[in-house]
Structure 1
């Protein structure tokens, strides 16, 4: 696999080796030894899978007391995936990075603890799968508004996205509880 840094230290773009022929393809989406050899010695406790239609935007989500690292990928369709540095002590606090994840490029993004995460579906629909380093705790979930002008994410949108009520009323970064 190929591991590439992004503009935000710690957030990594991971491209697996894909073996394909006229029958289809094979890839390893997770191999603990290969990831550890690449410097990502991770233990995952939960796998999640969501399906969303075009224009659905989810995020920006994070858990503060029980922060999750997430290894995210798309198995059908495409999304624009975003990580935002929410560590106040970081020189990159409030900065974001976005990448396309799709069933075509088969890329994955490692979003470490301390970052907010979100995505918008750019295809007719998308199946989004992710592994988490800690369990989801609803009482600990926080949401920063997807269109916070301080962060200024350049979402690839032609029309207003479809967001949940929770995401529509997310907190602005200036008012949010964030990491030290």
Structure 2
């Protein structure tokens, strides 16, 4: 497993060791000891799996209470995955990083608690799986506008994305509830 800090050092790009032959491949997607050595020493309490069509944009989501760290990966298709630092005390507050995650490259991204998270689907369809460090709590869920000009996220979109109604109601970062 190879772990690389992104432009925001707490967000980590993970490239697992993949062993392949004529039968297919094998890879370890989670092993507590190895991830703890890489600085991801969390208990995961929930796994999620979504399927989306091309042009779908999900996010930017976070929970103001019960913040979730997420270990994300794509098992079918491709996405552009984004993490936004919304910790006011952080030197990278308001900055974002984005990575292409695909079934082919098998990369994973660690998005720690204190970040808003989202992705857009760049293939015909994509299946997105992620482990969470805390339980989903809809009463604490918040959303930042995916197209907030102050964030300036360079989403790789050819057309207006398919966005869920509640995400269209997201707030710009300047008006959002953030972490201290």
State the TM-score, normalized to the length of structure 2: 0.99
Partner of 1:136: 136
| 1:148-174 residue CA offsets vs partner (Å, 9 max, x unmatched) | 000000000110000000011111111
**What SS does structure 2 have at the residue aligned with 1:34?**
helix
Is 1:57 matched up with 2:65?
no
State the Cα distance separating 1:29 from its structure 2 match: 0.4
**What SS does structure 2 have at the residue aligned with 1:47?**
strand
Partner of 1:101: 101
Is 1:79 matched up with 2:79?
yes
Partner of 1:90: 90
* Structure 1 Cα separation of the partners of residues 96 and 37 of structure 2: 27
State the Cα distance separating 1:71 from its structure 2 match: 0.2
Partner of 2:44: 44
Gaps of 5+ in 1: none
| Cα root mean square deviation, aligned | 0.6
**Any runs of at least 4 consecutive aligned residues in structure 1 with deviations exceeding 6 A, and if so which?**
none
Residues matched between the structures, number: 180
**What SS does structure 2 have at the residue aligned with 1:171?**
coil
* Structure 1 Cα separation of the partners of residues 177 and 37 of structure 2: 35
* Structure 2 Cα separation of the partners of residues 40 and 107 of structure 1: 16
* Structure 2 Cα separation of the partners of residues 163 and 38 of structure 1: 34
Partner of 2:11: 11
State the Cα distance separating 1:39 from its structure 2 match: 2.3
* Structure 2 Cα separation of the partners of residues 138 and 168 of structure 1: 17
Gaps of 5+ in 2: none
State the TM-score, normalized to the length of structure 1: 0.99
Partner of 1:68: 68
